[in-house]
Amino acid sequence: MPRENGILRGELKVTGGKLLKCQLTLKKDIIATLTITGDFFLYPEEKITDLETCLLGCHTHLKDIQSKITSFFQHVELVGATPQDFINLIMLTSKEKKK
């Protein structure tokens, strides 16, 4: 299945041994669906849905992902990972089919 239409899955082990997971679909390098799970906590915890929604429609260029995630985490408490870990996870997952 072409990269633009397939489901991509990625995992990233971060400092401290925590594991982040991501599943996404792309339409012409734009995030169409996104689910993020793993060994981390957000406060308030329902904000993970807000993060996923915030990234829908976002281009998979590093500067675009970085801008959205950096802005998002200015208003949310994160334990077990860093905003950069989420950036790395999304970039890793979105590039999975380029190999």
CA distance 37 to 10: 11
- State which amino acid sits at residue 18: K
Q: Identify the pLDDT of residue 36.
A: 97
Q: Where are the alpha helices (DSSP H) in 1-99?
A: 47-55, 62-72, 83-94
| Cβ-based neighbours of 77, under 8 Å, separated by 6 or more | 42, 43
This prediction has a pTM of 0.89
Evaluate if residue 39 carries a pLDDT over 90: yes
pLDDT of residue 97: 54
Q: What domains, with CATH codes, occur in the chain?
A: 3-98 (3.30.390.50)
